[in-house]
Structures are given as structure tokens and as C-alpha cells.
Amino acid sequence: QVQLVESGGGVVQPGGSLRLSCAASGFTFSNHGMHWVRQAPGKGLEWVAVIWHDGSDKYYVDSVKGRFTISRDNSKNTVYLQMDSLRVEDTAVYYCAKDPRIKAARFPPDYWGPGTLVTVSP
């Protein structure tokens, strides 16, 4: 069965950096785009970034452009989110999620990990 497990969250000061990882199993990882979606405490879901199945294209929500970088290692079945210049408003649970279509990456995700909490606090 499909499993996604995020790691790397924690507490960081404003301006700091964190790298999130998401280990995938149970499907052909190299065939699917992968998303990061976040949820601030008590708030709704916000799409953050997506990477194509082969890493050839990456897109971001405007609020993180230039600060966050999504990447993947298909040999390790892992997707990453490098977060730099963190702000208090980046505080959220970060979920990685699988795109349902093969070799596409623009569709509502079908599987989600349990999430990892990122807290940005002075």
C-alpha cells in the first residue's frame, strides 16, 4: 500500500532553515509528481509546491518563491523541501502528497503523509 512519511520538522528561529524529507513506498515513485501542502494551526490547506515525476519542472506558491526549493531523488524514493529564510507565517504542518496521474503533476493529490510540524518562533 502507498505510504508517505515526512520528517525534518522542528522549531527554528525566523531567518533560519530546515529541510523536510518525505520517504515514499508502495508505488512507482518515479512515475508520479509530488506535492507539498501545508496547514497553519487552526487554518485550511494551502498548496506549497510541486515537482514533476522526473524533477524536470517545479512550481511554487508565490509566498515561498525564492525561499523554498523542492527536489527529489528517485533512486531513494524521496522528495525534499528545503526551506530557507523562514518566517513566522511559515509555521504549519507540512504534508507531502502524491499526484494521482502518471507523469503529470497538476492534480488533486490522492495519498498524503501524516505531516511534520514546522514552528518558526523568535
Residues that bind another protein (CB under 8 A): 35, 37, 44-47, 50, 57, 59, 61, 95, 100, 105-115
Shortest approach of another protein to residue 47 CB, angstroms?
5
Single-letter amino acid, residue 40: A
The nearer residue to another protein, 44 or 122, going by C-beta atoms, is 44
Shortest approach of another protein to residue 110 CB, angstroms?
5
Compute the distance between CA of residue 88 and CA of residue 69 in angstroms, rounded to an integer.
18
Shortest approach of another protein to residue 75 CB, angstroms?
25
The nearer residue to another protein, 97 or 120, going by C-beta atoms, is 97
Within a 10 A sphere around the Cβ of 108, how many other Cβ atoms?
9
The nearer residue to another protein, 1 or 75, going by C-beta atoms, is 1
The nearer residue to another protein, 16 or 102, going by C-beta atoms, is 102
Shortest approach of another protein to residue 95 CB, angstroms?
6
Backbone angles phi, psi at 60, to 5 degrees: -135, 155
Among residues 39, 31, 19, the alpha carbon closest in space to that of 99 is found at: 31
CA-CA distances (angstroms) from residue 121 to 10, 24, 98, 115? 10, 30, 29, 19
